């Protein structure tokens, strides 16, 4: 009797473990981890005003941060279950492939090259590449004007912006790269470089921080589609994240966040893009 009882107990325990496993989801997927652990690690920018900034008190603010929070919430993760880590542009793919982040939400342009390594949900925002210059510098009126005068153009490692300018508009411009956009802004203010190029919405944030010193040329010359980066092969999570972003757009929270985070810079809020299923 004792042996039979033990066997019955073992079977019951095994069944309970199976049920618990089924109900908690596959923790190797983003949606499964959100369901089973109630936690996600999301990489965001720490130094992009309006999109992603880490304040001195340790809090995070910006449109991309709001997108990250909204998506996490739709997956069942409360705000205290989100761990934010810094998305240095050169490290974004490796953060995902190495498992240091579950998602990257950081002005992450969707490109064919990147899609060979990771998957994207989006586009959730479309920006245009532009130039940030010193307020009193009248030499630079667009990307073509960088091809004269031995000018230096700054951008960030593992972004496509500076090389795009050199390939299409200004073959003679000198490229200078730093790890972060804020380093380029510091170099621009110190007159070590003549212009910073990246997406117009990022530049608008920096110009708003330094309105007496910097200005955006305001002649966008590319189309940059932002996506949420995630590991390849996680189709169920991708579908759920896509649905979450669509809900943010349809509910009005998408526009509300943009107006709150970049509206004061004078940046014209665009219409939301159509998500790719």
At residue 54, does pLDDT exceed 80? yes
Domains and CATH numbers, the chain: 26-127+224-265 (3.40.190.10), 129-216 (3.40.190.10)
C-alpha dihedral sign at 41, 159, 229, 77: positive
**Does residue 67 have a pLDDT over 60?**
yes
What is the percent of the chain where pLDDT is above 90?
77
At 148 the pLDDT is: 79
Q: Percent of the chain scored above 70 by pLDDT?
A: 91
Q: Can you say how many angstroms the Cα of residue 77 is from the centroid of all Cα atoms in its chain?
A: 19
Per-residue pLDDT, averaged over 96-107, amounts to: 97
Q: Is the pLDDT of residue 160 over 90?
A: no
Give yes or no for a contact between 45 and 51, defined as CB atoms under 8 angstroms apart. yes
The pLDDT tens digits for 219-237 are 999 899 999 999 999 999 9
Whole-model pTM? Answer: 0.84
Place of tokens 């999109």: 51
Stronger pLDDT, 23 or 187, i.e. the higher one: 187
Helix (H, G, I), strand (E, B) or coil at 43: strand
Measured between alpha carbons, how far is 204 from 12 in angstroms, rounded to an integer?
Answer: 61
Rounded to an integer, the average pLDDT of 124-130 is 95
């Amino acid at each position: 009797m004792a042996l039979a009882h033990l066997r019955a107990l073992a079977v019951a325990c095994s069944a309970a473990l199976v049920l618990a496993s089924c109900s908690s989801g596959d923790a190797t997927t983003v949606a499964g981890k959100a369901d089973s652990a109630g936690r996600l690690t999301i990489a965001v920018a720490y130094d992009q005003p309006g999109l992603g900034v880490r304040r001195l008190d340790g809090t995070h603010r910006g449109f991309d941060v709001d997108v990250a929070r909204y998506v996490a919430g739709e997956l069942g993760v409360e705000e205290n279950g989100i761990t934010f880590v810094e998305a240095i542009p050169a490290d974004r793919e490796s953060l995902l492939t190495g498992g240091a982040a579950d998602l990257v939400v950081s002005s992450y342009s969707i490109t064919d090259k990147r899609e060979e390594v990771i998957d994207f949900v989006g586009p959730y925002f479309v920006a245009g590449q532009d130039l940030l210059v010193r307020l009193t510098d009248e030499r630079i009126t667009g990307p073509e004007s960088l091809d004269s005068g031995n000018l230096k153009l700054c951008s960030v490692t593992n972004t496509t912006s500076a090389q795009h300018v050199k390939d299409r508009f200004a073959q003679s411009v000198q490229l200078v790269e730093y790890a972060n956009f804020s380093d380029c802004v510091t170099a621009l203010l110190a007159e070590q470089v003549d212009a910073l190029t990246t997406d117009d919405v990022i530049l608008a944030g920096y110009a708003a921080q330094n309105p007496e010193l910097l200005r955006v040329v305001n002649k966008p010359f590319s189309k940059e589609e932002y996506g949420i980066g995630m590991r390849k092969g996680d189709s169920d999570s991708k579908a759920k994240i896509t649905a979450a972003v669509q809900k943010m757009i349809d509910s009005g929270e998408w526009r509300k966040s943009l107006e709150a985070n970049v509206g004061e810079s004078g940046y014209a809020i665009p219409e939301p893009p159509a998500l790719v299923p």
